[in-house]
Amino acid sequence: MNTDLLKALVDPTSVALVGISGDETKLSARPMRFMIANGFKGKIYPVNPGRAEILGHKAYPTIALIPEPVEHAYLLVPTDAVEAALRDCAEAGVKVVSVLADGFAEAGEAGLERQARITAIAKEAGIFLIGPNSMGVVNTHNGFVCTTNAAFGASSIQKGGTAVLSQSGSIIGTLLSRGAQRGAAFSRLISLGNEAASGAGALGLALLDDPAVTSFALFLETIRDADELAEFGRRAAQAGKPVVAYTLGRSDEGKALAVSHTGALVGSQAAVTSFLTANGIRRVDLLDSFLDAPAALARTKADPNRPRKVTVVSTTGGGGAMVIDQLSLRGVEIAGCSAESRKVLSAQKIALGSGKLVDVTLAGARYDTMKAVVSTLIRDPEMGLLVVATGSSAQFNPELAVKPVIDAIAEAPEGSAPVVAIPLPHAPDSLRMMREGGVTAFASVEAGAEVLSMIMEPLRIAEGLEGQDLPAEVTALIDAAVSTGQQVLDESTSGAILRTLGVPFPQQVQLAPGEGVEKAERLRYPLVAKVVSPDLPHKSEAGAVALNIKSQEELAAAVEKIRASAQSYHPGYRDEGVLVQEMRRGVGEALVGITRDPLVGPVLTLGMGGVLAEVYGDVTVHPAPVGLPTAREMIGSIRGFAPLRGYRGAQKGDLEDLARLASTLSCLMRDPRVAEAEINPVIIGGEGEGVVAVDALIRLQQ
């Protein structure tokens, strides 16, 4: 733990506001006004050569003339003055510097160069740089409200345990105001800006050992340093501090560069979600969930010794059914009241309806009844987690709706099932009472269901870069391919690399341009013939593939036909011959591909074969390389493979061998020169019969 950095970041003894306006109505005066209003105890040094005093504090012409060391500086100067001001901070030994100005990486080539220069200055001086384009840093616990965000002009700021790291400065104000309405409070709020030298990962690592931080909320428009973000996510998970991300934006860069189906399928959003999940960061869809989830995940844990099931008790039948519906849509398993609990409640003359909803609609407004139901259920060892969904009583009689739940929990023995509350009406008093009583409560059914699905699903952090090492023979073949200057390798070259890696292919021969078909006689019919050319990555679209060839005569005719089709599709294509393979049939087909996502790096994609993966979107993505356990999990998540798992008596496919092939192919990402590779289709044989790759493509980096 770097305590000096943490202190300078969020609890400095001194802060300099460089370029602050003497007009307190101006934006650059806000940080000083906010810190004074919130009782910041550190020393505030305004730096403005045109003023002797600002807001009752002596002003200094430059930071160099401040009579004591400055731990934190906020540069409020125009864009063209940032470099000089940052150099002054370096000479003064400032540890942390935030930069407000824009006009950097987002402003074209000149802006990129400007940003590179300030990054170099900070790196050389050992300055922890935040921004540029940063609206500042806030610590709600000590009044260090060093921000230009107008939302912090509120009369009071709630203190909580969640640290917000946001690439959007204005969103911080949105979270603050909406959070105040929902009871979501924060400990630190940092506007990351352009992340020139320090991004979400670096700030997260800096705050990880902060005792006032119990969880993190990341608002991400993109991912700039995937490795650092991954390290932060993993370390936060180890520390028991949940990290929740709300992501924006999709990158088309990878799709534009990709020539395989895999590149078109992965896109950044699927890759980003997979990357975050694999590194212990939970992604949310709803803004309300983004506000609720960090604190809820820190406070409420699923008991590993209890079933991973949720029981819903409700004082409103329709509302309880709504909660169950939303939970079920998110894959949460629902359990009703056990026979033992039903027996205990029956002895107390509390009758429950049948079905999975524990409906106490008629009796729910009575304190004794509700308390008895909650007390009985949370003591039941067959209970996983209890959701209390309350109706109108939560709005009009919060004492009756809330107090029995709080009291039942307070009197419960250690090891009782966790409880979550979802009032159905607008019930701010009930929500407040629940939270003050230590009960996790949600203001909306949808957000509650999304967060509950995270609580019930354990983190599944990938074990780093799994998989086998890349054999030297494969590296040698890639060396040879690189030396030719080719970027998209033809199927023959791609197949040779993959076969050496350990990917199984059918028996095959390659016919040179103009060569007769006699060499193919050693193969078993039926055959497949495919034109070999780096200009035809998708041969079926060019009519350059012939299937089910049953004789030498048919083969000769097919070769002539597919060459003519290739010439028509791509006049002057580079003709490297025809590949003739034994035709394989199986019980199913798969697509297996690897690519380098522009944001998060290497990923493996698995899906149904042919074009079905694109048609149905039934694919799964994971950071690559992967080991066998991860490959098995990926295959298990593909709905289209249900028949291959023996669904309704269908013949099982060799999915274990498919997992081996996927893991093997993913290892190709260990060579940084490989941009992407795809096998589509992989023919899946019956259980124990193996799999074979029948069409392969590799693209090298430019």
Tens digits of residue pLDDT in 280-306: 999 999 999 999 999 999 999 999 999
Q: How confident is the model at residue 265 (pLDDT cuts 50, 70, 90)?
A: very low
pLDDT in tens, 85-108: 999 999 999 999 999 999 998 888
Looking at residue 464, its pLDDT comes to 59
Q: Which contacts of 636-643 are long-range, i.e. CB under 8 A and separated by 24 or more positions?
A: 638/606, 638/607, 638/608, 640/607, 640/608, 640/612, 640/616, 641/588, 641/590, 641/608, 643/587, 643/588
Say which range, 128-132, 318-322, 352-356, has the weakest mean pLDDT: 352-356
Query: What is the pLDDT, as a whole number, of residue 586?
Result: 94
Please check the confidence at residue 565 and state whether its pLDDT lies above 70: yes
In angstroms, the CA 512 to CA 578 distance is 7
Q: Is 256 helix (H, G, I), strand (E, B) or coil?
A: helix
Co-location of 607 and 674 in the same domain:
yes
Q: Is residue 47 part of a domain?
A: yes
Q: The domain spanning residue 610 has which CATH number?
A: 3.30.470.20
pLDDT value at residue 364: 56
- Residue 251: the pLDDT is 45
pLDDT of residue 262: 40
Kindly state whether residue 121 falls inside one of the protein's structural domains.
yes
Q: Which of 184, 213, 242 is the last residue of a domain?
A: 213
One domain, residues 312 and 194: no
524 pLDDT tier (thresholds 50, 70, 90): very high
Same domain as 609, residue 550:
no
Q: What is the pLDDT of residues 207-239, one digit of tens each?
A: 999 999 999 999 998 899 999 999 999 999 999
Beta bridge pairs of residue 159: 186
Separation between Cα atoms, residue 132 and residue 80, nearest integer Å: 12
User: Where does the pLDDT of residue 261 fall: very low under 50, low under 70, confident under 90, or very high at 90 and above?
Assistant: very low
What are the tens digits of pLDDT across the range 538-564?
A: 888 999 999 999 999 999 999 999 999
The yes-or-no verdict on residue 661 having pLDDT over 70 is yes
Q: Annotate 394-458 with DSSP letters as a single string.
A: HHH-HHHHHHHHHHHHHHSPTTPPPEEEEESS--HHHHHHHHHTT-EE-SSHHHHHHHHHHHHS-
Q: Which H or E run includes 121?
A: helix 108-125
Mean pLDDT of 152-157: 88
User: Per the domain annotation, does 109 fall within a domain?
Assistant: yes
**What pLDDT does residue 266 have?**
44
CATH code of 553's domain? 3.30.1490.20
Q: Domain check: are 60 and 208 in the same one?
A: yes
For 362-409, what is each residue's pLDDT tens digit? Answer: 665 688 999 999 999 999 999 999 999 998 888 888 888 889 999 999
Helix, strand, coil in percent for the chain, rounding step 5: 40, 20, 35
Question: What rounded mean pLDDT belongs to the chain?
Answer: 92
List pLDDT tens digits, range 483-522: 999 899 988 999 999 999 999 999 999 999 989 999 999 9
Q: What is the mean pLDDT of residues 190-198?
A: 96
Q: Mutual orientation of helices 317-329 and 445-456 as an angle, nearest 10°? A: 50
pLDDT > 90: percent of the chain:
81
Give me the mean pLDDT over the 182-199 stretch: 95
CATH of the domain at 122: 3.40.50.720
Strand order in the sheet with 578-582: 508-511, 578-582, 527-531, 545-549
Answer yes or no: do 100 and 199 share one domain.
yes
Confirm if 511 and 520 have CB atoms less than 8 A apart: yes
- pLDDT, tens digit, 9 for 90 and up, residues 598-608: 889 999 999 99
555 and 514 together in one domain: yes
What's residue 26's pLDDT? 96
pLDDT reading at 263 higher than 70:
no
Which residue, among 320, 445, 444, has the nearest Cα to 391 in the 3D structure? 320
| 382 domain-assigned | yes
Radius of gyration, alpha carbons of the chain: 31
Q: Does the structure show a pLDDT above 60 at 58?
A: yes
Here the tokens at position 242 are 């949940």
Domains in the chain, number: 4
CB of 210 within 8 A of CB of 188? Answer: yes
> How many whole angstroms separate alpha carbon 570 and alpha carbon 588?
31
Same domain, 430 and 579: no
In a domain, 111, yes or no: yes
> Do 53 and 159 fall within a single domain?
yes
pLDDT at 249: 65
Average pLDDT over residues 73-90: 98
- Express each pLDDT in 673-693 by its tens digit: 999 999 999 999 999 999 999
Q: Looking at residue 252, what is its pLDDT?
A: 55
Pair (314, 420) in one structural domain? yes
* Whether 431 and 553 share a structural domain: no
Q: What's the N-to-C CA distance of the chain in angstroms? A: 41
Residues 6+ apart with CB under 8 A from 347: none
pTM of the model: 0.91
Taking alpha carbons only, the member of 282, 279, 276, 273 closest to residue 231 is 279
Q: Where are the beta strands (DSSP E) in 77-225?
A: 96-99, 128-130, 136-139, 144-147, 159-166, 186-191, 215-220
Is 39 among the domain residues? yes
Whether residue 54 is found in the same domain as residue 191? yes
DSSP at 686 = B
pLDDT of amino acid 351: 82
Q: d(Cα 453, Cα 420) in Å, to the nearest integer?
A: 12
What is the rounded distance in angstroms from the CA atom of residue 71 to the CA atom of residue 64?
Answer: 13
Q: Which of 583, 615, 644 is the last residue of a domain?
A: 583
The confidence score (pLDDT) of residue 68 equals: 96
Strand partners, 607: 591, 619
Other CB atoms within 10 Å distance of the CB of residue 65: 11
- CA distance to 492, 571, 679, 698, per residue, from 531 (Å): 10, 14, 17, 16
474 three-class SS: helix
Is residue 692 included in any domain, yes or no? yes
Q: What is the pLDDT of residues 398-445, one digit of tens each?
A: 888 889 999 999 999 999 999 999 999 999 999 999 988 989 999 999
Q: Is residue 408 part of a domain?
A: yes
CB 498 within 8 A of CB 667: no
Least confidently predicted of 256-270, 336-350, 618-632:
256-270
> At which of 213, 232, 255 does a domain end?
213
Q: Are 527 and 600 in the same domain? A: no
The CATH number that applies at residue 383 is 3.40.50.261
- Containing domain of residue 325, as a range? 303-456
